[in-house]
Structures are given as C-alpha cells and as structure tokens.
Amino acid sequence: MSKYSQKSILKTDLRPATIAIVGVGSVGATTAYTLQLSGMIADIVLIDINKDKAEGEYMDLNHAAPMTTETQVRVGEYSDCVDAAIVIIAGGANQKPGQTRMELAAKNAKIIEEIIPNVVKYAPDTILLIATNPVDVLTYASYKLSGFPTSRVIGSGTLLDSTRLRCNIGRYYNISSDSVDACIIGEHGDSELAVWSRATIAGMNLAEFSAATKQEYDKESLHKIFEHTRDAAYNIIKRKGYTAYGIAAALTRIVEAVLRDEGSLLTVSIVGDYYGIKNVALSVPTKVGRDGAHHIMDLTLNEKENEEVKNSAKKIRAACDSLGLK
C-alpha cells in the first residue's frame, strides 16, 4: 500500500476531487498514474491536443484501475475543467539532451498562452499547478495570463530538487533522508542553490552532526552532492530522453498538501517579492493548503547564499522581461 493510501485511511478530511491534467506526454501521463495510485482523487481528466495519445493513456490507466483504486479516468476538453480543484499544466516541449530549461522559454510560453485562457474560461476558481519548464518563467506567465491571485498559481519549483538533495545527503551520511532537513531555493534550474547554512540532521547543522558521529565534514564532497542534485535532470535526459517519475511524485505531493489543507512548507514556486527582487516567481519554503500557496517568509541566509539567490531571481526576471512578461 502506498504512503498516500495509508494517509487516506488515517485521515478523514480529504474531499473527493477532480484533477485535470493538460498535456499527457511523459510527465502528464506519469502524474495521472501516480495520482491514480494515491487513492486521493475521485476523477482525473486528461486533456491533450493529440486526442489519440490522450485516449491511449486513458485506456491504459483504466486497465490498471481494478488493481489499484476506483479513481475514474477520462479524456476531456477544456470545458471538463469546470469542476477541477486543481488543473495541472504539463503541456509543452521537453528538454533535449544538453538543452537548458531556459532555452525552452519562448517555445513553451507560446503554448502556455494557448492553454491558460482556455482553462480559466471554464475553471475560474481552480488552482493552477505548473509543471512545464522553465517552470518559474511559466508560473509567472500563467499568473499574468490567468488574472488569478498569486496563491492560486503554483509552480512545481524546486520541490523535486530539495527531495533529491535530502536523499543524497542521507546517502552520504548513511541515514534515512527523512532525518535530513535541507532545501534548494531559487530557480528550478542552473542558478538554484542549496541552503547549506540551514541544513540540519537531528537538529544539528552538518558540521555538528559530522563531529557527533565521527564522520568527516567535507565541504568539497557536499558541493559535489549539490552539483549531482542540480544536474540530475541533465543526466537522466542524456540516458533516457526525459524525466517523469520524480516530477510526477512531486506534483502528487503538492496535490496532497492542497487537498488535505496541510499548511505544509514546500519549496514550490509562486510570484512574489524575494530578497529585495520584486515581482518574480521562484522557490522558497512556501505554505501550501486548500486555498493555494502563500509566501510567508524568506529564509535567513548567509551573505554568499543571499547574493546567489538574488542572482537567481534576477536571471528569472530577465527571462520574463525578454518574453515581454512585465
């Protein structure tokens, strides 16, 4: 039984929900399957310009339903977003080997320009969950196109990156990643940064934990852990052509936080003012619940980290400006 199914049994305040997914390529289809396995969702609507692809995924997912959950999956149009609590935007071009996320910006911004107004027309009260890259730029674009409050336009941000970081730190220290509190903030991309000054294990910073457990505290090794985390997507895409499982799990985690009204702090991307840079979408720990996501604080950073996150924000802001997104 999945951890999501266990939570469904243990907690009774989960409302049956419809989730629409726009774009059922590798990320959209895998997210639909992950949501189906979760047992949280009553109804999943698949929307794609390629009807045959959407119908094929629908047929395949329905064959899995009797052995998983009773989640209904169907192919729909934008009008079927009308009852959706959350609409996940996964449409757009994927990264090619060696291509950065930012290099997708112009192409995918045009696709978002087609998608968002059609969703908003039928689902003016939904929450938009953006997965398409470059996610920070397209979260900002979706915010501008939708006219929604910032809380109802959520980018997947660095949630997956932060999870990867905790996993890699756990492996380095030979402990469960559940014991690690660490995050990546800024752009979901090349300018992101690991917040080493706030990283802890069992309430101790990493230097203290290393000393307490008689392990070496090696800053160079930790930096390599960050590089491995930051470049994970490039390495996966080089080998298999795309990423899907990790981001699908991250999107499911965000959906869970919304539907359960958790108030969890997740490193998702929403539009706001960060570290003195105004009107930009990037990731910091953000409160996520039934009414969306709220930027409630900036982490206290050391001087180097503060400069790095400002540079990351400026990079995102410049990309938005280049697309005419003021």
Degrees (nearest 5) of the Cα angle 33, 158, 182?
110
SS3 266: strand
pLDDT digits (tens, 9 = 90+) for 251-291: 999 999 999 999 999 999 999 999 999 999 999 999 999 99
Q: Please state the domain extents for the chain.
A: 18-155, 158-323
Class level of CATH domain 18-155: alpha beta
Rg of the chain, C-alpha, whole Å: 19
Sequence-distant (6+) residues with CB within 8 A of 251 are 31, 34, 88, 129, 131, 156
| pLDDT over 70 at 10, yes or no | no
The pLDDT value recorded for residue 94 is 76
User: 48: annotated binding-site residue?
Assistant: yes
What pLDDT is attached to residue 15? 53
Residue 9: per-residue pLDDT: 35
Distance CA 312, CA 277 (A): 10
Question: What span, in angstroms and rounded, lies between the C-alpha atoms of 172 and 301?
Answer: 24
pLDDT per position as a tens digit, 288-309: 999 999 999 999 999 999 999 9
DSSP, residue by residue, 172-189: HHTS-GGGEE--EEB-SS
Q: Is 157 in contact with 135 (CB distance < 8 Å)? A: yes
Q: Do 192 and 135 form a contact (C-beta atoms < 8 A)?
A: no
295 is a catalytic site residue: no
d(CA 35, CA 287): 21
170 is in an annotated binding site: no
Residue 296, both tokens? 């409630």
Cis link prior to 134 (omega < 30° from 0)?
yes
Q: Which two tokens stand for residue 119?
A: 């969703």
State yes or no: pLDDT of 4 exceeds 60.
Answer: no
Catalytic one of 188, 223, 228, 294:
188
**Is 28 flagged in the annotation as binding?**
yes
Better-scored residue on pLDDT, 311 or 67: 311
User: May I ask the CATH architecture of the domain 158-323?
Assistant: Alpha-Beta Complex (3.90)
At position 17, the amino acid (one-letter code) is A
The tens digit of pLDDT for each residue in 155-168 reads 999 999 999 999 99
Percent of the chain scoring above 70 in pLDDT = 95
What is the arithmetic mean of pLDDT over 204-227? 96
